[in-house]
A = this chain, B = another copy of it.
Amino acid sequence: MTAARKYLVFGGGAVGSVFAWRLQQGGAKVSVVCRSNFRAVRDNGFNIDSVKYGAGKFTPDNVYQSASDVVKDKQDYDYILVSTKSLPNIVNPAELVAPCVRDKKTVLVLMQNGIGIEQYFEEKFPENPIIPATVFLDAHQTEHGSITHGVSIKLDYGIYKPQQLGVQKTESILEQLKQDLVAGDVESSILDNVQRSRWSKVIWNASFGPISVLAGKYNASELLGDPIANQLVRTTMKELIAIGDTTTGEKVSPISSEDFIDKMIDFTQNRPNPFIPSMLVDFENKRPMEHHVIVKNPIDVANKLGVKVPVLETLYSLLVLLEKKSLGSGNKQ
């Protein structure tokens, strides 16, 4: 029997803590870097109330306040799961994590929203395996260290540069992660084209997010219940699908874009509780929004490919301006 693998979960919010908990439950060694909730988690761990798994107490093997605390501890991690917000307009996400990356063997699993999140890590760690993942999880941190989770949890992922490590090494990295997730009762799929899956998610985030904020704080159900907003969501999704189809080299969805949009909208409308897009949550809490990776990076891809996205560009411009007024700051864009 091999020694338990060692995970560092960088970002102890709802996403990071639930996955960290499950990995530990499955037998892995799991440490967590917490920021705003550091004191609460160091003193009491995480209290997780999950419909799927029941109530649980999660005490990470180590709780760190920052990357430099990780370095001081001289631990070595096989996988780093990056579950912080991705705000490259404010700070390079790879620089944040950098001190924790001991050598080129450390696997970086990117559990962040948006498109083009890999570029920051690729530049900083050209030789490390990078695994972009798509997170499906309905969990929230209700107060520092207290997490509620519904029933949905899934991690889809794939290797960023398949050619880099060779087939065997790549497969082993992907399979080991899957073993550990499955041991923790987490569903997961290894995907050949993980970007398709990431685009599917960004199509939702980049349409509902900006519109919910700019329209004056509508949740997703309110937006869909208003014919003007419903139409604007669909128009925005259509632009995003056009980019996604072009850039991923195969259609983001095998069904027609109209059917795909209908399906996404039905899924959103049929939730027992209305979705509140994470951008709206951040905006309401006067926190920076992830408009760079969710909206700007898709626009940059569109411009490179010659896909016209005037609606998305309008939403992005307004969002940046609104955030500047709201936060009163001169963030880099």
A242 at the interface (CB under 8 A from B): no
Interface residues of A in 209-225 (CB under 8 A from B): 211, 214-218
Q: How far is B321's CA from A217's CA once the two chains are assembled, in angstroms?
A: 10
Chain B residue at smallest Cβ distance from A215 = B321
A311 at the interface (CB under 8 A from B): yes
- Which of A32-40, A176-184, A253-261, A312-320 is found at the contact surface with chain B? A312-320
Kindly supply a per-residue 1/0 record for chain A positions 301-333, scoring 1 wherever the CB is within 8 Å of any chain B CB and 0 otherwise. Answer: 000000000110111011011101110000001
**Minimum Cβ distance to chain B for residue A86 (Å):** 20
A186 at the interface (CB under 8 A from B): no
Q: How far is B217's CA from A321's CA once the two chains are assembled, in angstroms?
A: 10
In the complex, what residues of B have CB within 8 A of residue A317's CB?
Answer: 228-229, 231-232
Chain B residue at smallest Cβ distance from A310 = B310
Choose one: B214, B235, B310, B315; the contact of A322 (CB below 8 Å).
B214
Interface residues of chain A, those whose CB is within 8 Å of chain B, are 211, 214-218, 226, 228-229, 231-232, 235, 310-311, 313-315, 317-318, 320-322, 324-326, 333
Could you show 27 A-B contacts with beta carbons less than 8 Å apart?
A211-B318, A211-B321, A214-B214, A214-B322, A215-B322, A215-B325, A216-B321, A216-B322, A216-B324, A216-B325, A216-B326, A217-B325, A218-B325, A226-B324, A228-B321, A229-B321, A232-B317, A232-B318, A235-B310, A235-B314, A310-B310, A310-B311, A311-B311, A311-B314, A314-B314, A314-B315, A318-B318
